[in-house]
Structure 1
């Protein structure tokens, strides 16, 4: 196993080695993230009654429309809001597409009558240097909608910069707070850093759980930015009592921008997985709302509702080792925080890509400042070409690391496409959410206990052969299965025998 280890030690040590240049952070080609254009479009798709004009080839608009707008609207039954393209071709690349953009702005304003038009530049427009700002400025007095250029050419920054760019641009749409508006919103909260549009109406999502907790305190949610928020909500957003980040990394950009521009207070914590993180999130909001007493009553009420069941489940978890897949860095850090703080388990983050130490610096700083420094294991498969959550090499390295461990003392938090010889919990396959807050903590604890209770029951040998074909060269066919499995796998764990397709908790 030693030959396959790239790093094994505390997160803080990995952080220091990366800063000193002792570990390479470059992503291999198979691990590349979406471009800046895609991440910008993800945020823009969360604003209601907005039309995005993508200034570039038609394919750019097609991709984001399929990935975001259509999916969001299908999930919630929201009316479809189009993504329009200026459809730049070879001629426009040579002579410019400014005429088409001017025409598109007028057509969109007249045909769809949106509250706001965003003009998003793709690579082609950025390369040829079309003067998008001048066109938008000239169109502004000629149309009814608000209009804003978004310079999000994919080549002009790494994927994370698309999120930050749009959130900072959104702040320019906000009105400066007035005493009257601040009185009206004195007990209101924005949840900032959401990168989702309309949510599924029939699912108790994590965001809905945070809304429930804020309302249970006696406050109210003014807006979720940008999670199906309106232009009017955005305009008034700076007058609320506090901004609470959803994702610490992504919410930090808009939160700090609003704080610097308008003085809007910011409550910034790690993802509220588990009780400790949830209580810090709630108490941070309550300070700015002037509702500390109400928050404590809510905390007592919520904890009392789950205490008996949680204590019973937690009794089986203390001291157990938890291997946490590190592919989603922010989630892995938050889960490790929950497992150690709430359940007294021993988390090990497996294959936390060194690149994530730079991309997720805010969350890492936060975790280390709270006194938690989880163990990290990075193997060579993480740095190889391939989809590493379903590669023969990383699967083999995981098995080597686990060795002859007792299945009753170790749990693997990761994808159902992995087949470790220990109980597996796939939080992405928890369909009856939420996973945040008190109810989420109980749900996760029950899922872990369920996995441990059924540790001796074998996983599906057929699924394993599909994901990891015998005698294959390394990559599997899992890519084509992932979205289907994510929808249809049972709630906690996947087993081959009786009660197929049902959660063992029920």
Structure 2
């Protein structure tokens, strides 16, 4: 393998990168062009997953517009339920001077009367956070005047990085919960919560990953009280502490609410990485079964699920041992989970490509878990990752990867990433798998088949025409919403960000 030293910023084990980051020996700050959502956005993303609730964004109207477009409309479309609006107090220049208390008071009264929600969340924006509107005092005074439950969410974007928005809301949700009783615990001793859902309803027409986890729980003989916050209700949230165990969907995102519920109510938490592959799925199932007192049922389920896929899985797996899996690292938790699957299930050699050093702090919970379970994947970070631009999709990083791979046989390599990436090796785009799920045993079989199919067609070159659309010659790059969501979105953005054609549609 040919390594071009000038192109490589780091090449080594995850544990080595982790230590360098802790000691400040590698840059962990995001570049100005490598932005993430603000605390306000991530907080409202979780809030959007609670049914029959209204979010009042206390600030300018633009904040409400973004949340509505990104989250609430999507949730209602997925579930087929009536649209639950996102409301704005629509404060302006005068309010920034004199305060927006009057506007907030009126908005709460109007929302309660017009929509009759179970909960009204008041989410503070940067503007109201800066001027210091006393939102808590207003809510306290109004609680007796409205029927809805009121809760303030202090999530102004400047007050924390994006991860803090998730944690803030999950910890706040715990305050909506009822103290469990002996009777409620007994009645719900066969139930679990799946915690760490980031947004609203699952698509009704697709066998999603969450639906697969629910199916496995039910297959063991248990029940799911709620997916928090994935289209959950206030009544589900209230009784949530009485279940036998909280099962984290995503270890990082689910840990905040799981730990808070454990400390406040004594509800145990079953924490694993995303259950990609058989090894991770079995840890997830057995972790839940321990608290449900269903160890025998869990083993029966594991045997049944594996036998269902065994013949096809083993046939697919035997060709994968020793192959190299290059995993795009910009989605840190997902890349760690895929690396775990490749190593444990397929005996492949995973290399996480361009796992930004910033992620060592943002995703430390998942990294700690992975290292504690004995998995220490190889990390490759090229200099393009730390340059200005969208490092997920830059021509520079792809050229650097090809230099790293040198003249290796493409039949021994697969690339786990976006279909809009163009390394000259077989590509597996898990976001483009529409006939999901990707979790569990069925997901493991699906991934194994995808790898083998990609290897079988390794002789077929990627589309030169499509590559020129993604990377226009001598004029920057085009984007599907800046290529960050890749092909996972319904409607691509065909705008070309290029010299002489900014804002024009590629189809013209």
Q: TM-score, normalised by structure 2?
A: 0.95
Mapped contact 2:480–2:487 kept (Cα < 8 A): no
Structure 2: give runs of 5+ residues left out of the alignment. 492-508
Deviation at 1:479, TM superposition (A): 4.0
Cα displacement (A) at 1:289: 0.3
Shift of 1:320: 0.2
Equivalent pair of 1:35/1:158 in contact (CA under 8 Å): yes
* Residues in 2 aligned to 1:466 and 1:72: alpha-carbon distance in whole angstroms: 31
In the alignment, is the contact (CA less than 8 A) between 2:418 and 2:487 conserved in 1? no
Inter-partner Cα distance in structure 2 for 1:203 and 1:476: 29
- Superposed, 1:99-498 pairs within 5 Å as 99-472=102-475, 474-479=476-481, 485-487=487-489
2:88 pairs with 85, 88, 106, which one? 85
Deviations 1:110-151 (A, max 9, x none): 110000110110001100000000000000011111110000
Alpha-carbon distance, 1:79 to partner? 1.1
**Alignment check: 8 A CA contact 1:214 1:221 kept:** yes
Contact preservation (8 Å) 1:391, 1:476: no
Count of matched residue positions in the alignment of Structure 1 and Structure 2: 488
Contact map agreement 1:116 1:145 (CA 8 A) in 2:
yes
Does the 8 Å contact 1:10/1:376 carry over to 2? yes
Q: Secondary structure at the match of 1:80?
A: coil
d(CA) in 2 for partners of 1:398 and 1:78? 45
Matched, 1:64 2:90: no
Q: Distance in 1 between matches of 2:185 and 2:73?
A: 36
CA contact (8 A) 1:390 1:467 kept: no
1:485 Cα deviation after fit:
3.4
Give a deviation string over 1:465-486, Cα, whole Å, max 9, x none.
Answer: 01112233x5444546666833
User: Which whole-Å CA distance do the structure 2 matches of 1:456 and 1:220 have between them?
Assistant: 47
> Shift of residue 4 of structure 1?
1.0
Q: Distance in 2 between matches of 1:451 and 1:15?
A: 32
Deviations 1:329-373 (A, max 9, x none): 000000000000000000000000000000000000000001111
SS across alignment from 2:10: strand
CA contact (8 A) 2:480 2:486 kept: no
- Structure 1: runs of 5 or more not aligned: 490-506
Write the distance in 1 (CA, Å) between the matches of 2:489 and 2:46.
23
Q: Secondary structure at the match of 2:96?
A: helix
- Superposed CA offset, 1:28-52 (max 9, x none): 1111110000000000000000001
Once residues 231 and 436 of structure 2 are traced to their aligned partners in structure 1, the CA distance between those partners, rounded to angstroms, is: 19
SS class of match (2:143): helix
Show structure 1 runs of 4+ deviating over 2 A.
Answer: 474-489
1:2 to 1, 5, 22: 5
1:460: Cα distance to partner?
1.1
**In the alignment, which residue of structure 1 is the partner of 2:101?**
98
Cα distance between partner residues in 1 of 2:280 and 2:484: 30
Cross-structure match for 1:51:
54
TM-score scaled to structure 1, two decimals? 0.95
**Where does residue 495 of structure 2 map in the other structure?**
none
Partner SS, residue 237 of structure 2: helix
CA–CA distance in 2 between the matches of 1:291 and 1:204?
25
Helix, strand or coil: the match of 1:210? helix
Matches within 5 A, 1:29-40: 29-40=32-43
Secondary structure of the corresponding residue to residue 172 of structure 1: helix
Is the 1:243–1:265 Cα contact (8 Å) retained in structure 2?
yes
Name 1:11's counterpart in structure 2. 14
User: In 2 relative to 1, CA 477–260 (structure 1 residues): closer, same or farther, beyond 3 Å?
Assistant: closer
Q: Offset of 1:328 from its aligned partner?
A: 0.1
| Alpha-carbon spacing, 1:478–1:188, altered in 2? closer, same or farther (3 Å) | closer
